[in-house]
Amino acid sequence: MDNRQTISLISLLVELWGRWRPVEDILFGENELVKPLRQLKIPWYGAYLNMPAAVSAVISSPEGKQVVFASGGLLNLPEGIYGLKYVDMKQRSTYISNIQIKSKDAWQVSVDLEAIWRVNDPILITNTQNPLLNLVDICRSTSVDVIQSYPHDGVVASPEVEPIQESKLSNKILERLNNRLDLRGFHFISVTFVQK
């Protein structure tokens, strides 16, 4: 048996053993998107990463190169010690309350928003300090920027004036969020105003 056949047989055994092992439970808290860095040792014969659905793994080589694994499987990586972080890929919603804004005509407006989003780029998220805090802050500031460009009557309903439709405002906020370079790691699905 030559070397290639031996390596193929070993890889097959590593994969079979990996598939046989139960999937590790990776639980994320409400304010947690990334599990802290841990070591992943890849022996000479290879390794198998067994992952649950809606989770991606970001593996960092000793040289600092990062690779995303969207599902488990045989890791065709050279022998060595790697860094491993897990990223939550489930769709999530974030409620942002009490956004205080001055309208274009200097009236005070207060709104609550709900943003529905998911992680778009696990590497960007793992390389961002406090990604959820950044998301909330940027959603808040983007909402302020959009809403303050409208007059009060265009934002708040009143019996005499037909307001701008909430969907028009929320779509404008959604568009701006998805175009923000500092939020490239996220994809926003919807933004809605929450009635108080």
Q: Is the pLDDT of residue 31 over 70?
A: yes
108 lies in the same domain as 137: yes
Give the closest residue to 66 by CA, choosing from 46, 50, 85. Answer: 85
Stretch 96-115: mean pLDDT, rounded? 86
pLDDT tens for 110-167 read: 888 999 999 999 999 999 999 999 999 999 999 999 988 877 666 665 555 454 556 7
- pLDDT for 56 equals 96
* Top-confidence residue, 88 or 170: 88
27 lies in the same domain as 67: yes
84 lies in the same domain as 101: no
Which of these three, 88, 118, 144, is where a domain ends? 88
Beta strand spans in the chain (E) = 38-42, 47-49, 55-60, 66-69, 73-75, 80-88, 92-102, 108-119, 186-193
Which of these three, 88, 119, 144, is where a domain ends? 88
* Top-confidence residue, 2 or 71: 71
11 lies in the same domain as 80: yes
Type of residue found at 1: M
Mean pLDDT of the chain: 85
**DSSP string of 10-23?**
HHHHHHHHHHHSPP
Residues 6+ apart with CB under 8 A from 64: none
103 lies in the same domain as 179: yes
- pLDDT for 173 equals 94
Q: How far is CA 173 from CA 18, 84, 97, 141, 194, in A?
A: 45, 34, 15, 10, 14
Note down the domain range covering 152.
Answer: 92-193
184 lies in the same domain as 104: yes
60 lies in the same domain as 122: no
Encoding tokens for residue 37? Answer: 């860095």
Cβ atoms of residues 149 and 104 within 8 Å: yes
Which of these three, 63, 88, 113, is where a domain ends? 88
Assign residue 173 the CATH number of its domain: 3.30.479.30
Is the CA virtual torsion 66, 133, 174, 71 positive or negative? positive
Percent of the chain with pLDDT over 70: 81
Residues 6+ apart with CB under 8 A from 44: 79
**DSSP string of 54-71?**
TEEEEEE-TTS-EEEESS
112 lies in the same domain as 59: no
Cβ atoms of residues 14 and 48 within 8 Å: yes
Total domains present in the chain: 2
- pLDDT for 163 equals 47
Cβ atoms of residues 196 and 112 within 8 Å: yes
